Structure 1
Amino acid sequence: MNRLTYIALLLLLSFAIFQNAEAQNAQITGTVLDSINRSAVVGAYVAVSRNAPNAKPEYITTDINGKFTFTGLTKQVSYLVKVSYLSYKDFTQNVTIINDIQDLGTVQLTEAIANLKEVKVIGQVTAMEQKGDTTQFNAAAFKTNPDATTEDLIQKMPGITVTNGTVTAHGETVNRVLVDGKPFFGEDAALTLKSLPAEIVDKIEVFDKLSDQAQFTGFDDGNGQKTINIVTKADRKMGQFGKVFAGYGLDNRYQAGGNVSFFKGNQRISVIGLSNNINMQNFSSQDLLGLTGSSGGGGGGRGNAGGGGGASNNFLVGNQSGITGTNSFGLNYANKFGKKVDVSGSYFFNRTGNTNAQTTEQEYFLSGGLGNQFYNESSRTSSINANHRLNFRLEYNINPNNSLIVTPRLSFQDNNSNSLKTGLTTLADGSNLNSLDNTQRNLNSGYNFSNDVLLRHSFAKKGRTVSFNVNTQLNDRNGTRYLYSKNLYYNNLTSPDSLMARMMGDTTDQKSYTYSNGTTWGSNIIYTEPISSTGQLQFNYGLTLSNSNSSRETYNMSFDENTYSDLDTLLSNNFDNRYTTNRAGIGYRYRKNSWSANFGVDYQNTGLYSEQLAPNDTKVDQSFSNFLPNVMLSYRSKEGTQFRAFFRSSTNQPSISQLQNVIDNSNPLSLTAGNPNLKQEYRNNFNVRYSLAGAKRPYSLNAMVFVTQTNNAIVNSTFIAQEATTLPSGIVLERGSKLTSPINVDGSWNARTFLAYGKPVAPLKLNVNLTTGFNYVRSPGMINNVANFSNTYAVSQGLVLSSNISEKLDFTVSYSGNYNIVRNTIQPNINNNYYTQGISGRVNWIFGKGFVVQSDISNQSYRGLGAGYNQNFTLWNASVGKKFLKNNAGELKLTVFDILKQNNSISRNVTETYVQDVTNRVLTQYAMLTFTYTLKNFGKMPVNDNSRRRELEGEGGDFRRSGEGGGGRGPGSN
């Protein structure tokens, strides 16, 4: 039993101690629906007050399912409940609480007969409220300029940041953005935020969205995602809005595009387009194939375990190093058909052309008194990547007790790339070991398909449910690589510049074909049974079958035939891999008043069968059996205090590229290969969250701790030849060359803390966001068969000041600093401290008769990096424009980018085997003239038009009995 298991037991003990202290709390719950079409009424105000003279009411609003829950009430006391919403008659009811949970059931609102007169409410809007698991921000409390996007709006909100296209909320990456509870452009968070204007937003909800199955049962399955839900204003659900723009500038720089949305109640259609060569990028990880490294490839592990993210991490947030030209088109559709069917879908096409020039410096840590080894590389690359992405979701509420959700996804990728690379390996005394001159061309194509089918059934007995899920995943990859490389190996180190020193060398001229495909079929069934008014049992069983195949054929140039016809058996391989996983478990869920707890255990058996079919037949047959416990304890108060502690064990299977034992010689001086003897990783995850928010507090506070401990962690093992060495595969590794392959090692830790504090400063009309954090990463690795543990300690600090003065003056000032301490176990002499700092400011000022001035400036500072990498540079962009046409719909703007001509790109990556500093090509100074036209045409809703009002107000669409069946939670639920 390890330390984290003890922590889980302590959580259970803490729950038992606090249970009695909360025994007197009671709740009033209910669901607010439209009386005609039975759709959820989102954002209705619910007031609860004691039935006593001068009693003050307290307010909450309904979530996207129309649900509300008041906590902290007293039994045997009479309360007045009042529900109100624009265009509806008020609902009132006297309630005397008898049980711990007094369920009002369905509250039906009926249409108001008379037209409502305009009512002006003057007062300070509450900026943030905590509603159960959901943090809700009121958009009216944050002032933005008329042209602001939703992305501009949320950056003013406490605890939310957007950096290089990545949205984080309370220290966690936001993976999904919903609009009125429905998907928008699939799961592309950045694209959604950029496409919606801030003026249509009523509220922003931040919560952990459980999977559809977990939301129904109420048992957290660990597959939840940090999610933002954009609640639109009631008077913005009918109309057309968007903007189109076009611009041209110096050095043939151009941009054109736009987005237009057509909202008609439940029917929503959005179209976007973009074409430019100024690094405006908007793709996600699904758009990328062959962009995150060399084609094919064994090897694996954690290349970015120590410090700032590597290239693949950048791609995940929509940034690609170098200069990129983008052409893209997207279409999103959502609608509700009748009372039972909700559909949403999107299509997105993206074609990017990228060019980059990169320099890389790596320092490898050698043991045994061998000294360190240095590798310097310069490369020029170009690539064209095309992607088609389709997403669809169908929700069918068959009847009050049954629902069906079908979610297919399909994407196609096509990538062509070319690279020119030169590299040199040296020792600490400056003597040369080897060099390369490499030309490579890669042609890759493939597709991904996945589909989830979820059938949910709620029995007549409240809390008794059954749900059945079937998922399918298919993928296919084809690639062709041309490689021409001249490699020199220096054997006369005393005179490295002499001809004798370069007498050893070889030339590689090859063509490789790679192919891989995978099929995964999975299913699970979950049954829940109530055993008391506060307790519920869950039983689950799942079966997963996965098959994958990967092959590579490498041919050397036959100079006799002048064609690639000589099969290189040392670099060719055909590999087949199969997984069979059976998993069964039991769980218990407890909920009473402000407390809830889940705990359970699963037993999992995984069979791994791998077979190498060529060049020789070898087999690996392994079986893994694990017990996977999970514990969750949470507390929520009506005042906005929330505490949640979570512990879960899980496994992670090695990928087929990590298992396939074939040499990848994309860089002949740095080979990679897989390891068919890899075992699965076993992870223990523990996290704690604590937050304070609410209308009664003038501030918000979020604190979190995340800890991950991994046994059998899949990490890199690097062998650097000190003399010519023949590998077991038969390939000769010359002196100074490297071979990297994945292995299993214990002792991997990753701990992170995060604290966010936000407060509006009313006298200065500012919003203040303060963040701080501490990260610890213990990353094991192996170099020349000697274990090394890289321990990285990082302290981060951030401060954001955003204006809340007026819609015409908007500015933001921010600071971020990161101090990193790296300590290695085998080479303490290369321990390193480095610091990165960023200071930025942005202003948007509208004055006079439509004049606009915009400017943003940022300063980046690097200290403690390698020679030539310690830099301090400032990027300043500015523009001036004039609005004209009716309602200032048109704007002509002149922009100058990089006024000071200091733009730069530097990054540091610390791993368990090397430290790496990288610089990339950047966009330099240019000027551009741009015309923008803004479309705003919102319709009015007659109060006495039943069909029109139902169309506008009938949002929602989640399974209505989900809360009754298992207590499923949605945003804002208590």
Structure 2
Amino acid sequence: MKIFLLSAILCFTFLNLAAQKNGSITGILADSANHNSTLNYATVSVYKAGDSILTTYKLSDDHGVFKINGLATGLKYRLIITAWQYGIYRKNVELSADKPILDLGTLYLSTKSNDLNEVIITAERPPVIVRKDTIEFNAASFKTLPSAVVEDLLKKLPGVQIAADGSIMVNGKTVSKILVDGKEFFGGDQQIATKNLPANMIDKVQVVDDKQAKRRNPDLTAAEIPQVINLKLKKAIKKGAFGKLYAGAGTKNLYQAGGLMNFFRDTTQVSVLAYGNNINQPGFNPNDVQRIGGFNRSGVNSMMMSSGGYFEFNGISFGGSYSGIQTSSGGGFNFNTLTKKGIKINTQYFFGRNDNLLERLTNTNQTLGEDRLVTNANENTSSLTLKHNIAGKIDWQIDSLTQLTIEPFLVLNSNNSVSTNYSTNTNAAGQLLNTLQNLNNINSANNKYQLLADLSKDFKKAGRSFNIGLDISTKPNPGLNYNQSSNTTFLTPSTTEIDQLRNNQIENFRTYIYTNYSEPINKKLNFKIDLSGNIINNENALSTFYKNQANQLYDIVIPNLSQTVEQTGFKTNMNVSLNYKITKDFNLQPGVVHNYISLNNRFSNANNLNQRYHFIWPTFQLKYKIFRINYSAQFTEPNVSYLQPVADNTNALYIRNGNPNLLPARTQNLSLNMYKYDPQNLINYNLYGYGNFTKNGIVNTINISNGVQTVTPINASGIYSFNGGANGAKDFKFNKTSLKIGLGFWANFNHLPVIVNNIRSNANVFYVGPNGSIRLNLNDVVEINQSYAINLNRSRYQDNFYTNLSYNTQSSTSELIIGYPKKVVFETNFALTANTQQIAGYNNNIKLWNAAITYLFMKNDKLQLKLAVNDILQSNVRRSIEITGNSVVDYQTNNLGRYGMLTLTYNIQNFGQKVGGRQTMFSF
């Protein structure tokens, strides 16, 4: 906190001093043909006279006004003003000490004519161009280090925020995918593109709405529509190859190696990659990190709901682990081409292998009136995961108004893990209740077969549109669990031993069909209808066997632990609405939704259960300028895994029951969004809030006897939750110095029942997290980044049987990058995490310090030698805490600890050569 405050004070002092010494230029931009029509989002670029290096820039606001601060007096400047569909405006200006503020008044721009002889001056390209539905950044205007990748470039763009996990937001909107020259790049996987493509290969960065996401879900508000980033490569790369090869060795027998190559020829692009390391580093995608193995045996009591499908990353895990020690390897290829008929074709294949060793300590502290149940678990899991991903995409622009997209997917994912767990239960007096020794040998798979198809049609009549789509998927997930456990109870002395095999075959099949039609009634009124249907066919087949001592095989069936559950049926949704445009900035869209669900739950050893429900409910949307409010309702069927009536006894201290009588949940959703990008002041901010109210939601009831917990899911009403937050960032530019300050706040509130030993209490759980960040760049020689966040966690209960819980966590990250002397880059970062939970044997203050130095050599810095030291202070562990139900659950996991690594990277850049003959694009 002290570091963050000191950095903020220094930065604001710097800003004040700079503002006192510099002048400014203001003006208004208007259409020369219509003096009353101002030009918003035009780019005003400032260059020093006789210099081609950009000094600064601003965009005009909604009223055509621009103001450029931080300009030095006594210098001559050249203004270049560009606006979409208008000609370029140039003007030379000069600021003096006597007149540091220059008001240019109203400047008139003429509509651009189609002049074939127009000369384009590359040096005068504006840093930002805002078209009708696209924001385009000129990459050359945002200087990066020679070794920079796309992620480093994106961090410098106004309105762009990149989280620690690599996820990206633009002006408060989530980025759904990244394209390269308009084509899928490794399935649109963001991390592969941002962390591996060299920044100096990029000509333009374009940001547009994800139109496909809007077609598939027409109810998305403007603030909820994800963004797509398209990286336009330099013209010289249209025929050529680029990529990188790297290899490194370190202490403790650690290593890393890999390569990524991209080949371009006319309208065809081929990318291949391969990697391997044992340093917990992502090969190419840290966002798909998996914590493999381990079991949630801590008595979780939380609302669990399923919409009948699963969210899954469109890609493969390429390694990387926050906790544990991991060895990962993988490879794949990506192929894009554009046919003569304008059909875009993409195919891809990935293979990934992860070996992970996870050591985890878990402390769970449950409040039970005057008593407590404290569970301490020591877990050790070794696992191997293999994953194949085959995918394709056909994108056909049939005509200017019709588009067809077809996307097949195939994912084959197998996991083999061996987990040993030793846990103890004690009461408030410290008296030992039970001990458990558990061994689980699991062979499981998580496969997926999916086909997506989408056809959209616009009509000549403005506002009329039609869309129809299909999503078919099946997910067969077989699992074999060889379970051996020994449970000793001390209050009622007994020992129970289990040696069994659980064969659990779960398969989820669904067919989702959707269509929507929009028809304008008049200039202010638009009719809209959305229809969707979901065919459900899920199965959970469980067979349990004891080990036969005679032949050492698991072939003795246990009837009371074997059951097959089939869930079939369908659900429909029809939403009819009218969009009324009251004014240019004010829209109301009231509507009515009809939901119907029909479920048939069949059991091999129990009575069948048929369920039929429907309801008619109002919907509502309001749009006013930057504000969006949306209200809707829907049915959610219980996941078939919760319907399995057979108990899961693989952990004798935490037995999980199913409930075949679970009902579908009815949920009402409310969302509020506001986002704004102020181009004149380089400020972007957003405000969001989401709430849901659930009837017949699913919660767990817990019964505790002699330290043994038995958990059963039931339906409950009166469940609601809210989450929201606000984020803002401002960019400051002074000649060759830039500063970016960001502030954020998020909060979650959950209200749900907690039921332990038939004592019910409503729990109110709060999570609050303010945060801030500062990024200072001095002429691309020195860069200082500082962030700080605090999380306040509280739970309050209505019944005195439960004790209120609270803890705080603080985290701070400091980063310093120095690019001096030439060809040398020094970087270091220090992260501190501290919390108020005091547990013996747990580290409350985890300090992680990394440092590296890189030397660049050869022409264009093609070769880089990097010496890095990880975890200099030898923290070795990671820690996380959460409140669930009446418990505080505290995790501490192992990590690699301190090591050194020397890595050599060779950047391959081969462009502009003649393709064919001896000089081919495959020669380096």
Match of 1:623 in 2: 612
| RMSD across aligned positions (CA) | 3.8
AA at the equivalent of 1:434: N
Contact 1:359–1:376, Cα closer than 8 Å, also in 2: yes
Match of 1:336 in 2: 338
| Cα displacement (A) at 1:191 | 2.9
Match of 1:440 in 2: 440
Tell me the matched-pair count: 818
| Cα displacement (A) at 1:253 | 0.4
Which of residues 607, 631, 645 is equivalent to 1:647? 631
Match of 2:31 in 1: 49
Structure number with the bigger relative contact order (C-alpha 8 A, sep ≥ 6) is: 1
SS at match of 1:351: strand
| Cα displacement (A) at 1:905 | 0.6
Match of 1:837 in 2: 810
| Cα displacement (A) at 1:903 | 3.7
Match of 2:366 in 1: 364
Match of 2:50 in 1: none
Contact 1:570–1:663, Cα closer than 8 Å, also in 2: no
Q: 1:374 to 1:353 in 2, by over 3 A?
A: same
Match of 1:598 in 2: 589
Match of 2:716 in 1: 745
Q: 1:359 to 1:893 in 2, by over 3 A?
A: same
Match of 1:327 in 2: 329
> Does 2:232 align with 1:232?
yes
AA at the equivalent of 1:874: K
Distance in 1 (alpha carbons) for counterparts of 2:561 and 2:299: 11
C-alpha distance after superposition, 1:549-599 (max 9, x if no partner): 111111112224433222112221111111211322312234563344433
Match of 1:99 in 2: none
Distance in 2 (alpha carbons) for counterparts of 1:374 and 1:83: 69
Q: How does 1:86-97 map to 2 (within 5 A)?
A: none
Match of 2:269 in 1: 268
SS at match of 1:419: strand
Q: How does 1:169-318 map to 2 (within 5 A)?
A: 174-201=175-202, 209=210, 211=212, 214=215, 220=220, 226-235=226-235, 238=238, 239-264=240-265, 266-281=267-282, 291=292, 302=303
SS at match of 1:618: coil
| Cα displacement (A) at 1:110 | 6.7
Distance in 1 (alpha carbons) for counterparts of 2:449 and 2:595: 26
Distance in 1 (alpha carbons) for counterparts of 2:586 and 2:338: 36
Contact 1:171–1:754, Cα closer than 8 Å, also in 2: no
Contact 1:167–1:190, Cα closer than 8 Å, also in 2: no
Distance in 2 (alpha carbons) for counterparts of 1:225 and 1:348: 28
SS at match of 1:524: strand
| Cα displacement (A) at 1:408 | 1.5
Contact 1:698–1:760, Cα closer than 8 Å, also in 2: yes
Q: What is the TM-score with the length of structure 2 in the denominator?
A: 0.81
| Cα displacement (A) at 1:934 | 1.2
AA at the equivalent of 1:739: T
Match of 2:501 in 1: 511
Contact 1:476–1:516, Cα closer than 8 Å, also in 2: yes
SS at match of 1:657: helix
Match of 1:682 in 2: 666
| Cα displacement (A) at 1:603 | 0.7
| Cα displacement (A) at 1:701 | 2.2
Percent of aligned pairs sharing the same letter: 26
Contact 1:346–1:391, Cα closer than 8 Å, also in 2: yes
Distance in 2 (alpha carbons) for counterparts of 1:523 and 1:55: 45
Q: How does 1:900-915 map to 2 (within 5 A)?
A: 900-915=873-888
> Does 2:600 align with 1:609?
yes
> Does 2:788 align with 1:815?
yes
Name which of structure 1's ranges 317-326 and 842-851 shifts more when overlaid on structure 2: 317-326
Q: 1:119 to 1:788 in 2, by over 3 A?
A: same
C-alpha distance after superposition, 1:478-537 (max 9, x if no partner): 221111111111136xxxxxxxxxx41111111121212222122233333221123221
Q: 1:774 to 1:716 in 2, by over 3 A?
A: same
Distance in 1 (alpha carbons) for counterparts of 2:453 and 2:297: 32
C-alpha distance after superposition, 1:604-645 (max 9, x if no partner): 1101111111xx232111112123443222244xxxxx2222
Name which of structure 1's ranges 460-469 and 341-350 shifts more when overlaid on structure 2: 460-469
Contact 2:362–2:889, Cα closer than 8 Å, also in 1: yes
Match of 2:430 in 1: 430
C-alpha distance after superposition, 1:642-698 (max 9, x if no partner): 222222222322111111112112211111122111122222222222233233224
Match of 1:387 in 2: 387
Q: What is the TM-score with the length of structure 1 in the denominator?
A: 0.77
| Cα displacement (A) at 1:546 | 1.1
Structure 1 residue ranges without an equivalent (≥5) = 1-46, 62-69, 74-79, 87-106, 306-311, 493-502, 637-641, 722-734, 942-974
Q: 1:539 to 1:893 in 2, by over 3 A?
A: closer
C-alpha distance after superposition, 1:862-905 (max 9, x if no partner): 12354554611321111223222222210112211111112421
C-alpha distance after superposition, 1:349-373 (max 9, x if no partner): 1110000111111122325x5x111
AA at the equivalent of 2:558: D
Which of residues 749, 755, 768 is equivalent to 1:776? 749
Distance in 1 (alpha carbons) for counterparts of 2:83 and 2:806: 60
AA at the equivalent of 1:214: R
Contact 1:360–1:378, Cα closer than 8 Å, also in 2: yes
Match of 1:960 in 2: none
Match of 2:124 in 1: 121
C-alpha distance after superposition, 1:406-434 (max 9, x if no partner): 12111001110001110111111111211
Distance in 2 (alpha carbons) for counterparts of 1:303 and 1:917: 21
Q: 1:221 to 1:550 in 2, by over 3 A?
A: farther
Contact 1:298–1:658, Cα closer than 8 Å, also in 2: no
SS at match of 1:905: strand
Distance in 1 (alpha carbons) for counterparts of 2:699 and 2:812: 35
> Does 2:755 align with 1:765?
no
Contact 1:235–1:938, Cα closer than 8 Å, also in 2: no
Distance in 1 (alpha carbons) for counterparts of 2:299 and 2:376: 23
> Does 2:518 align with 1:532?
no
Contact 2:298–2:889, Cα closer than 8 Å, also in 1: no
Distance in 1 (alpha carbons) for counterparts of 2:555 and 2:477: 23
Distance in 2 (alpha carbons) for counterparts of 1:303 and 1:576: 20
AA at the equivalent of 2:831: S
SS at match of 1:151: helix
| Cα displacement (A) at 1:300 | 8.7
Q: 1:171 to 1:661 in 2, by over 3 A?
A: farther
Q: 1:396 to 1:563 in 2, by over 3 A?
A: same
Distance in 2 (alpha carbons) for counterparts of 1:319 and 1:742: 32
Q: How does 1:799-810 map to 2 (within 5 A)?
A: 799-810=772-783
| Cα displacement (A) at 1:457 | 3.4
Match of 2:147 in 1: 147
Distance in 2 (alpha carbons) for counterparts of 1:937 and 1:855: 32
Contact 1:137–1:203, Cα closer than 8 Å, also in 2: yes
Match of 2:676 in 1: 692
| Cα displacement (A) at 1:320 | 5.2
Contact 1:374–1:425, Cα closer than 8 Å, also in 2: yes
